[in-house]
């Protein structure tokens, strides 16, 4: 469901009990988390890689990046647009909706 009231369309998603959003222009697609293959010696924020239609996609856990307590494991992946350096996805708990916001109402900071 999309609400249109402004200038920027964002994808609203949930990590634990907090809501975040990302400009929809940066989102390539949203998929269910498939089987992840761990990467030895990877940074803690890297959950592993998954095969997405023949492309190896690196899965990042933003909860670890934002230092959030993890009470549940995300089961959705927001696949982000990249500049050809491979595919990256964020492991999230849930997708809420796509909404439109006025530019001046968007807070680009992240509180942890």
Query: In this structure, is residue 29 part of a structural domain?
Result: yes
Query: In this structure, is residue 61 part of a structural domain?
Result: yes
Query: In this structure, is residue 90 part of a structural domain?
Result: yes
Q: CATH no. for residue 85?
A: 2.40.50.180
Q: Domain of 54?
A: 2-103
Query: In this structure, is residue 16 part of a structural domain?
Result: yes
Structure confidence by residue, pLDDT tens digits, 18-65: 999 999 999 999 999 989 999 999 999 999 999 998 889 999 999 999
How many structural domains are present in the chain?
1
The strand pair at 76-80 and 87-92 is best described as antiparallel
Query: In this structure, is residue 108 part of a structural domain?
Result: no
Token pair for 1: 């469901």
Structure confidence by residue, pLDDT tens digits, 66-87: 999 888 888 999 999 887 777 9
Query: In this structure, is residue 26 part of a structural domain?
Result: yes
- Is the model's pTM score more than 0.85? no
């Amino acid at each position: 469901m999309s609400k249109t009231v402004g200038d920027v369309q964002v994808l609203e998603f949930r990590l634990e009990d907090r809501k975040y959003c990302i400009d929809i222009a940066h989102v390539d697609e949203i998929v269910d988390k498939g089987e992840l293959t761990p990467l030895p010696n990877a940074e803690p924020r890297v959950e592993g890689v998954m095969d997405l239609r023949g492309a190896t996609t690196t899965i990042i856990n933003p909860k670890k990046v934002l230092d959030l307590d993890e009470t549940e494991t995300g089961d959705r992946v927001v696949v982000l647009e990249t500049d050809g350096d491979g595919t990256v996805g964020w492991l999230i708990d849930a997708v809420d909706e796509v909404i439109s916001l006025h530019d001046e109402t968007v807070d680009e900071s992240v509180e942890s």
